[in-house]
Structure 1
Amino acid sequence: MRGMTNTLTIGERIAWYRRRRGMSQEVLAGLVERTVDWLSKVENDRIPLDRLSVIKTVAEALDVSLGDLLAEPSLVDWTPDSGHQTVPALRDALLDYRRIALFDRGGPAVEAPPVEQLTRDVADLWEAYQASRFGYVTARLPWLLARAHATAEQRPDQPACQQLLALSYQLAAVQLTKLGEAELAWIAADRGLVAAQHSDDLAVTGSLARSVVHALLSVGKYAEAVRLTGDTADLLRPDLATPTPEITSVYGTLFLAGAMAAARAEDRATTRTFLAEADTVAGQLGRDANHLWTAFGPTNVDIHRVATAGELGDIQVAIDLGPRVDTTALPMERRARHALEVARAYSLWNRLDDALTTLLDAERLAPEQVRYHYLGRQLTLTWLRRSRGKPSTALLALARRLHVQT
């Protein structure tokens, strides 16, 4: 299905899979405990369906993945940054059996760079990710993983090498999550967590556990993600007695990921608890920072207040707070992701001009991020369907750039 349903909204995709299953609207509506009228309006784009908790419920009833209804993963474009080798090359690197512990010394000969050089390589790609240069990062991750493995195998007694290997896998996990490659992201996060545990660095271990939380989120395992948040917090909490900026940032960011999981599980109490804990930790840190590429601080907490409000359907909260959050000091990835949430809130509030302007601003900041996030594509398709008469030139041009024009 990759790329074949980019011109369908989520509602249209639900109708497509329902008919594929030979299921009537009455049957599907009953399975998700909704009315036939509601389902009919969803399938005909008269009700926007953008809350992942609801989409997940429908996906389970249709026996499809969450990604199937979100049209994920999407095809990664060839660009001067990416070249002509993207996700398939990264998949090959992750699925190389020689990377399994039993065979981890049987891979092809790869130059093992000095730790100092590998540190610079890891930092370069993390910075590119935070700049939303997704094609650049995806194309270079197989090379980075091979070099990180070679260095870790050559210097097994140096914890720093395992730390760098773990952070390389974490980068693969977060990048693949952005591209909708949920299963591959899970493999990368799992491999990274194993390396992190060998590094004896609790901050890196906590950071990798957070990536596992995100991997669980991407496949709709919200309750499991909430539990992992709590378990990891228990592991990190003793170190908060004498915290480093890294452990503080990882601990706080963990609760932001957990808050998203709780919101998608429609657990308001846990969402509030996790956000409050993150807010307290951000206050202790005292400012926005980027330790271990967390972009953690008070502003990221506010970003997640808006995002969780959107997931819970509290659009008034998202509208009131979202446009007032000043994200200019944060990495581009965070700024663009917040703009997507604000555009969603404006759209649900029927302020379509503001929604389109916000999405276009986000695209100017981070075109690849808007292109690969389901919200960017689905908002654009929804606006096309709701246009009375010919859509605006700006909307049509955006749809062409996102490859969703019908």
Structure 2
Amino acid sequence: MAAVTTWTGREANALRQALRMSVTGFADHLGAARRTVAKWSSQGNKVHLRADMQAALDTVLARATPDVRERFGALVSAGSSGALADPATLPVRGTHIHTGEGGIHDFDSDGDVRRRDLLTGVTISGITLPNVATLLEALVSPRPRNTEPVALPIRQFGRDVADAKIAYQACHYEQVLARLVALLPALEPTCADAEGEQRAQVDALASDLYHVVGSVLLKVGDKGMALVAAERSTRAAASSQDPLAMAASARIMTHALMSNGHSNQARQLAEAAAETLRRGTGLASTDAIAVYGALLLRGAIAAARDDNRDNAQAMLDEAAHAADRLGYDGNDRWTGFGAANVLLHRVNIALTLGDAGTAITLARQVPLDKIGLAERKASLFVDVARAYIQWGRYEHGLNALRSAYEIAPEEIRCRPAVQRIAGDLAVLTRGHVRSAVFDFAQHVGIHV
């Protein structure tokens, strides 16, 4: 195995996993701060290590047993040990998206059409791409070819948007794609027919519609176009002048920013949007409390991804207070917010910070009967699988993936991130567990 030329967080985390050490154990082994090692785990190849750490890792690798070196080489080759570049986020000709105080700018539709054409005939994450490509076409050019788009009655439009939300939360992604492809062309004429209060209502619904578009694009791995959809959601919400719509749209923008590597901006946006909602509404309704709490949870995840443990904890605690004030686990304003949801986020944040053992301990405390949304329940088991893999307990990780599949099959088949977990298991395991991993992958229809 060739020596590592430059150690990033990715290679360092791969070595930790190959040694089957916890974050704390690895930090002690190296004489490094635990927080530093957790940052390697969460930020991957975005972190370039200091010269003294590079030398220390060179020594650890040189002294490692052949089995450890073999596992290390496999992990690095598989790209499973850190935040790796996703092909969907690579620059696209003609499309320029950047963030700043004013938001996202310079969206060039011609470039996005080229992007869509380049993808034609390929398959993304188990969803046949014609469905995804058609969604991208509808996002870029809502007016369908050779047909005249038809306005929908506002009540029907609202029901159709709600149906898309419900299908998304149930992890029925093929169904979601079909609904979105039908709804996007109807948006422009529906807006044109609406006036006064009705126009504000349609704008709020448009914000929800683009929220779903952004969410499903994140699921299938198209982070760049998800950011475009999030920006559309933000614009529509601003046009509606509805405080709840504006705060809800900030949730998908926060998620899209995080997925594109802008965790600090995402945290700031979530904090600002939550405070604006609090001041503007006094949190006088259950919808306002739920959106406020959900924003704080999204901001807490962004803070954790930015290795800001104190901010993450503070936002989690404030979200817990909001959940106590709400008093139940519900789905107000499509948030799935409540005390159980806060605990789900504690699991994810512990995992993000490299605390696999803590994540598993917290996961055992989650009252599954309080989680009404298949998407949230499946995501919990995916997080548990990741935690067990970090911990070196691969068979437990496989069992967690099986549980996620039983809850939401399309969550396993359609998500690149979940498929990478299965790929990690295929690389890391041996004997009967490895055979079981391949049997599971074949059963659910994914390649490892």
Interval containing the TM-score (normalised by the shorter chain): 0.7 to 0.9
Q: How far apart are the structure 2 equivalents of 1:169 and 1:162?
A: 11
The one-letter code sitting in structure 2 at the alignment partner of 1:269 is D
1:44 positional shift: 7.5
Contact 1:70–1:374, Cα closer than 8 Å, also in 2: no
1:23-43 deviations in whole A, cap 9, x for unaligned?
x722x21xx379x8x477379
Q: How far apart are the structure 2 equivalents of 1:67 and 1:107?
A: 43
Q: How far apart are the structure 1 equivalents of 2:361 and 2:310?
A: 21
Q: 1:44 to 1:404 in 2, by over 3 A?
A: farther
Name the residue aligned to 1:143: 182
Q: How far apart are the structure 1 equivalents of 2:19 and 2:194?
A: 57
For the pair 1:95 / 2:144, whether they are aligned, the reply is: no
Between 313-322 and 119-128, the greater mean CA deviation after superposition: 313-322
For the pair 1:25 / 2:4, whether they are aligned, the reply is: yes
TM-score by length of 2: 0.74
Q: How far apart are the structure 2 equivalents of 1:40 and 1:314?
A: 16
Contact 2:297–2:319, Cα closer than 8 Å, also in 1: yes
The one-letter code sitting in structure 1 at the alignment partner of 2:151 is A
Match among 352, 355, 380 for residue 394 of structure 2: 352
Q: Within 5 Å, which residues of 2 pair with 1:307-322?
A: 307-322=348-363
For the pair 1:134 / 2:173, whether they are aligned, the reply is: yes
Match among 85, 90, 93 for residue 130 of structure 2: 85
Contact 1:76–1:87, Cα closer than 8 Å, also in 2: no
1:221 positional shift: 0.7
Q: How far apart are the structure 2 equivalents of 1:325 and 1:295?
A: 14
Q: 1:339 to 1:33 in 2, by over 3 A?
A: closer
Q: Which runs of 5+ in 1 are unaligned?
A: 1-14, 100-105
Name the residue aligned to 1:75: 124
1:277-320 deviations in whole A, cap 9, x for unaligned?
11011111100110111000101000000000000011221121
Name the residue aligned to 1:399: 441
Q: 1:122 to 1:265 in 2, by over 3 A?
A: same
1:264 positional shift: 0.6
Name the residue aligned to 2:427: 385
Q: How far apart are the structure 2 equivalents of 1:39 and 1:289?
A: 38
Q: How far apart are the structure 2 equivalents of 1:116 and 1:232?
A: 28
The one-letter code sitting in structure 2 at the alignment partner of 1:25 is V
Between 47-56 and 313-322, the greater mean CA deviation after superposition: 47-56
The one-letter code sitting in structure 1 at the alignment partner of 2:277 is L
Q: How far apart are the structure 2 equivalents of 1:231 and 1:40?
A: 36
1:1-41 deviations in whole A, cap 9, x for unaligned?
xxxxxxxxxxxxxx9xxx9xxxx722x21xx379x8x4773
Contact 2:13–2:40, Cα closer than 8 Å, also in 1: no
1:384 positional shift: 1.8
Q: How far apart are the structure 1 equivalents of 2:445 and 2:83?
A: 18
Q: How far apart are the structure 2 equivalents of 1:177 and 1:52?
A: 23
1:57 positional shift: 4.6
Name the residue aligned to 2:379: 337
Secondary structure at the counterpart of residue 378 of structure 2: helix
Name the residue aligned to 1:114: 153
Q: How far apart are the structure 1 equivalents of 2:356 and 2:330?
A: 28
Q: How far apart are the structure 1 equivalents of 2:426 and 2:316?
A: 35
Match among 367, 385, 395 for residue 326 of structure 1: 367
Name the residue aligned to 2:217: 176
Name the residue aligned to 1:10: none
Structure with higher Rg: it is: 2
Name the residue aligned to 1:41: 15
Between 261-270 and 386-395, the greater mean CA deviation after superposition: 386-395
Q: How far apart are the structure 1 equivalents of 2:305 and 2:364?
A: 22
Q: How far apart are the structure 2 equivalents of 1:146 and 1:269?
A: 44
Between 174-183 and 150-159, the greater mean CA deviation after superposition: 150-159
1:346-400 deviations in whole A, cap 9, x for unaligned?
2222332322111101111111112333442233222222222354543112223
Q: How far apart are the structure 2 equivalents of 1:52 and 1:71?
A: 23
Q: 1:309 to 1:387 in 2, by over 3 A?
A: same
Q: How far apart are the structure 1 equivalents of 2:397 and 2:18?
A: 21
1:193-226 deviations in whole A, cap 9, x for unaligned?
1111111211111000111000001111111111
Name the residue aligned to 1:11: none
Secondary structure at the counterpart of residue 307 of structure 2: coil
Contact 2:41–2:353, Cα closer than 8 Å, also in 1: no
What's the C-alpha RMSD, in Å, of the aligned pairs? Answer: 3.2
Contact 1:72–1:179, Cα closer than 8 Å, also in 2: no
Q: Within 5 Å, which residues of 2 pair with 1:260-279?
A: 260-279=301-320
Q: 1:67 to 1:128 in 2, by over 3 A?
A: farther
Secondary structure at the counterpart of residue 130 of structure 2: coil
Name the residue aligned to 1:367: 409
Q: How far apart are the structure 2 equivalents of 1:51 and 1:360?
A: 27
Name the residue aligned to 1:238: 279
Q: 1:195 to 1:221 in 2, by over 3 A?
A: same
Between 340-349 and 215-224, the greater mean CA deviation after superposition: 340-349
Structure 1 ranges of 4+ moved more than 3 A: 38-57, 66-74, 76-79, 372-375, 389-394
Q: Percent identity?
A: 30
